Amino acid sequence: MAQKKMALACSECGSRNYTITANPNRVERLQVKKFCKHCNRHTLHQETR
């Protein structure tokens, strides 16, 4: 069974700092606060495809 990998990109600088395994049961786009080493602080990260 294939697992979809997704990246979490910083909403401020756009760099993809994390990769996650997508949950097929989830429809809405994930938004999480995570640390961005480019911005050097916690920013909102959104999943990309």
Name the site residues for Zn ion (rule: CB under 5 A). Answer: 10, 12-13, 36, 38-39
Q: In this complex, which beta carbon is closest to Zn ion, that of residue 4 or of residue 32?
A: 32
Phi, psi of 40 (to 5 degrees): 60, 30
Distance CA 10, CA 37 (A): 10
Minimum CB separation of residue 48 from Zn ion in Å reads 13
Q: In this complex, which beta carbon is closest to Zn ion, that of residue 11 or of residue 23?
A: 11
Minimum CB separation of residue 19 from Zn ion in Å reads 16
Distance CA 29, CA 21 (A): 13
Task: Determine the length of the chain.
Answer: 49
